[in-house]
Amino acid sequence: MKTVIMAGGSGSRLWPLSRSLYPKQFLALAGQQTMLQTTASRVDGISDGKPLVICNEEHRFIVAEQMRAMDTQADILLEPVGRNTAPAIALAALQALTSEDDPLLLVLAADHVIENVEVFQQQVNRAKPLAEAGALVTFGIVATGPETGYGYIRRGAAEAEGYQVAEFVEKPDLERAQAYVDSGDYYWNSGMFLFKASRYIEELGKHRPDILDACTASLETLTPDLDFVRINEEAFKACPDESIDYAVMEKADNVVVVPMDAGWNDVGAWSSLWEVTPKDGNGNAVSGDVMTHNTQDSLIKSTSKLVATVGVKDIVVVETKDAVLVAGKDQVQDVKKIVERLKAEGRSEYELHREVYRPWGKYDSIDNGERYQVKRITVKPGNKLSVQMHHHRAEHWIVVSGTARVGRDDEEIMLTENESVYLPVGCVHWLENPGKIPLELIEVQSGSYLGEDDIVRFEDLYGRS
């Protein structure tokens, strides 16, 4: 059995912590590990070989770094554009069939919380004989209430450890959701699957040959790149955008649902995170530098400064370095409306945090104004920024801690704590950390244009153009 982890998506309802270039699956929302890392850990002992992580092009270095941080080797397949779950799983199945003898694929989303890993593994193992016999298995979550944010699966006749699927049902209104729960015949649709690679390809070919053809063409020219595998961009762009439920599961033969009651939550909104987070005696889920008085049943999260609440109930407060969200807990589904406005207005808070991660480390945009910008840069030991130049800005680097090796045109300079170097407009330069500890420096930029796209790269260890 091979694990396939789908790590796409933007998690817009968890803004401002989740951003399009650093979405929720890469955040530590419900523990010390990120959601991606927790998903990879969840299959320890039941899955064979390296997991296959499918992610967006712009998230590739985040995935690689998080897998390295937990000492897990993974195959990372890059999607040049998002095309939903049916094509993503098709890529995984086709890849598996070229390198292995028709394995079972355990398909998981990278952004789910499962509190009881033992029960999760038990149900996966119970589903294996069904999948080995040719069934397409989906895992149905035992409903704990009338959720209107989930799709439902109605069970039919019993079959081994599961039930034949009678129908898939769209997200219902509250009255219908309550009727589903009361009947006992419906499960929440988890979006987790188990099937043979060949069976998925067989059913996809029957019902959506256009998706299969586009994915097959996408894999005809693979390009290895560091930790990643790139597919043919033009071929994949021609692929229709479709979910696995619409493309395959609702139409296929021999679809079976296996019930699972393992404390599952898709953490689709701040209210969902409140539900799975430990709370104090007043029902508050609190993290970071927070003080509360006469506050009840709320989620309050601080990442950089003191947040204080007085006399409130059932609210969400989330503070980051560049944004603060305050919302009624019953209105958090509409956080995406704010994200849509940020995107439409071209604001950076839609895409990025003030602190931005790069394959070599990270930078924090401390201050900016007319013709200047100040950043705190951290370079990991042994890492090097690209050889580059700028047309519109000069830079001044001041080392705070560690050792820097700097290239400036034809000279090479070694800098240590409290030393600095000036890089005029147009000079070719690079920065490397040759030491054993992180290199911390302050960068002061000045010039007529300070955008990140004013970078001309001549050489880069990480394959960035």
pLDDT value of position 456? 93
**pLDDT reported for residue 224:** 81
Fold of the domain spanning 2-265: Spore Coat Polysaccharide Biosynthesis Protein SpsA; Chain A (3.90.550)
Question: CA angle at residue 58 from 426 to 389, to 5 degrees?
Answer: 5
- Coil, helix or strand for 13? helix
Cβ burial, residue 309 (10 Å; 0-12/13-18/19+): buried
Q: How far is CA 458 from CA 387, 432, 465, in A?
A: 5, 15, 9
**pLDDT of residue 271 exceeding 80:** yes
What is 119-171 written as a DSSP string?
A: HHHHHHHHHHHHHHTT-EEEEEEEPSS--SSS-EEEEEEEETTEEEEEEEEPP
pLDDT tens by residue, 319-350: 999 999 999 999 999 999 999 999 999 998 99
Coil/strand/helix, residue 356: strand
pLDDT of residue 389: 96
Q: Where in the chain is the domain with CATH 2.60.120.10?
A: 355-459
Percentage of residues in the chain having pLDDT higher than 70? 100
Residue 465's pLDDT is what? 65
Q: Which CATH class is domain 355-459?
A: mainly beta
| Residue-level pLDDT at 120 | 97
Per residue in 126-166, pLDDT (tens digit) is 999 999 999 999 999 999 999 888 999 999 999 999 999 99
* Residue the block writes with tokens 């069939």: 97
3-class secondary-structure state, position 350: helix
Note the pLDDT tens digit of each residue in 307-316. 999 999 999 9
* pLDDT over threshold 80, residue 225: no
Tokens 């930078």, residue located: 363
Domain with CATH 3.90.550.10 in the chain: 2-265
Distance CA 244, CA 239 (A): 14
Confidence grade of residue 31 (pLDDT, cut at 50, 70, 90): confident
pLDDT at 463 over 80: no
Reading the block at residue 161, the tokens are 């450890």
